[in-house]
Structure 1
Amino acid sequence: MAMKPAFNPETGSVLDINGMFVGKTIHVYGKSHEDDNGRIAVNLLCGPDADDQIALHINPRFEQQTVVRNTRDSSGWGGEERDKEFPFKKPGRQFAIWIVCREEHFEIFINRYKLFATYKHRIPLKLITHVQVAQNCDISLVCSGIKGLDVPVQVFDEPSAPLNIEVPFFNIRNHSVTIYGKPNDSDGRFTVDFCQGDKIHFHFNPRLSEGEIVRNTKDGGWGSEERQLEFPFPFVKDVPFVAKITARKHGFDVEINGCSAFTYAKRIRSLKAIRNIGVHGDAEIMKVVIS
């Protein structure tokens, strides 16, 4: 089971992760303090107390330019693991730490999608129950994922339009936005925009009057439109739809009513810069899910 997402928890909070098992991922997003001697600690705990055993301790240390990994069991701290590589450029910046549970070890990703380190299990997975993020940082989100499943992080039921959603992640890459709605005007159009300030990385714009889905990017001005579809136009007035947009390294994969529709290749390089998602136009939006 997934854990309940925690938005802006107090530093040092101990959060229930609803069990640990192979295929589960813990996502931590935050910002380090502007302290050259600062540290960040992410602890997978065997209980609801900070003094319980720590199955995995991830400890970036700015003053030493290293990331320490360790375990604290009933007999105390074990042997440290360190690497020469330090994936934090400087303190005072946003960070993302992902912990992926595998059968024999954890995989640790820091600030990018390249594997940073692995850490062999020293304590049985069944004993891991909580996560804690502590020391010199502010936390924006702690949540979990499960391999092969979309785990909701935010759900907006019957939201008021227009809708402007702040991206809760350090980087939207590999995350999805799913919109449940129905067009309310046979000659209308509605829009989903992935925005970076005035820039629009991906403009998704079904137009019922034209029977086309316009895709585009706005970077200073609008680029060339993409309209071609390999299937009949799927939107009809008063007929419910489900549109899922997933940000990938190459761009945006779009599914409509459970079927793969098309891929839109990104035209602006950094997906990390996308900070807002806008939904507006001639459609009744029943639910939006960020996962």
Structure 2
Amino acid sequence: MRPGKKVVVVGVVDSRPDRFYVALSCGRGTSREPPPDVALEVCVRFRDRQVLRRACLSGSWGDVDRAVPFFPFIRDQPFKIEIHCEQSRFRMFVDGQQLFDFCHRVTSLSAIDTLWIKGSITITKLA
């Protein structure tokens, strides 16, 4: 990862969604343990219509950012997430509208090499 790059996730929300996660990490970790550095973890929770963001440095999770101007995900509907890497932050867009900025906590952007997705969605395209 480096400034100017972006990750695109296109998919469809499940018909009975609970939550889903999208994360950018430094390495894969294991099925039981996440990698020690997660540059950005986004958790979308449908029950309370939250989009939570946090980072993990050396195995320690930081504070959660919660504020978003709107909740863009609808059950059974397609979506397009774009995560843009800028010099000092990630900027996330959903269906072309900016949802949030997240300042970099992981300082070595080149170490970010893994995209991790889990939860109540079906992925149709990654770029």
TM-score of the aligned structures, taking structure 1 as reference length: 0.39
In structure 1, the residue matched to 2:87 is 249
Amino acid paired to 1:243: I
Asked if structure 1 preserves the Cα contact closer than 8 Å seen for 2:10 and 2:126, the reply is yes
Instruction: Name the larger-Rg structure.
Output: 1
Q: 1:193 aligns with which of 6, 18, 23?
A: 23
Asked if structure 2 preserves the Cα contact closer than 8 Å seen for 1:182 and 1:239, the reply is yes
Whole-Å separation in 1 of the counterparts to 2:46 and 2:16? 6
In structure 2, the residue matched to 1:268 is 106
Task: Give the deviation of 1:195 after TM superposition.
Answer: 0.6
In structure 1, the residue matched to 2:62 is 223
In structure 1, the residue matched to 2:31 is none
Alignment of 1:167-186 (within 5 A): 171-186=1-16
Asked if structure 2 preserves the Cα contact closer than 8 Å seen for 1:196 and 1:273, the reply is yes
Higher relative contact order (CA 8 A, sep 6+): 2
Say which SS state the counterpart of residue 229 (structure 1) adopts: coil
Say if 2:42 is the partner of 1:204: yes
Whole-Å separation in 1 of the counterparts to 2:43 and 2:87? 22
Note the residue ranges of structure 1 that are not aligned, 5 or more in a row.
1-170
In structure 1, the residue matched to 2:78 is 240
Seen in structure 2, the aligned counterparts of structure 1 residues 182 and 218 have a Cα distance that, compared at 3 Å, is same
Cα RMSD (Å) of the superposition? 1.3
Whole-Å separation in 1 of the counterparts to 2:108 and 2:91? 16
Whole-Å separation in 1 of the counterparts to 2:117 and 2:23? 7
Aligned identity (percent) is 25
Note the residue ranges of structure 2 that are not aligned, 5 or more in a row.
28-34
Task: Give the deviation of 1:186 after TM superposition.
Answer: 3.6
Alignment of 1:1-291 (within 5 A): 171-197=1-27, 198=35, 199-219=37-57, 220-230=59-69, 232-289=70-127
Say which SS state the counterpart of residue 68 (structure 2) adopts: coil
Asked if structure 1 preserves the Cα contact closer than 8 Å seen for 2:7 and 2:84, the reply is yes
Whole-Å separation in 2 of the counterparts to 1:204 and 1:259? 16
Whole-Å separation in 2 of the counterparts to 1:263 and 1:179? 17
Seen in structure 2, the aligned counterparts of structure 1 residues 252 and 287 have a Cα distance that, compared at 3 Å, is same
Deviations 1:200-223 (A, max 9, x none): 100011111220101000121211
Task: Give the deviation of 1:180 after TM superposition.
Answer: 0.8
Say which SS state the counterpart of residue 110 (structure 2) adopts: helix
**After TM superposition, what 4+ stretches of structure 1 lie above 4 angstroms from structure 2?**
none
Task: Give the deviation of 1:258 after TM superposition.
Answer: 0.7
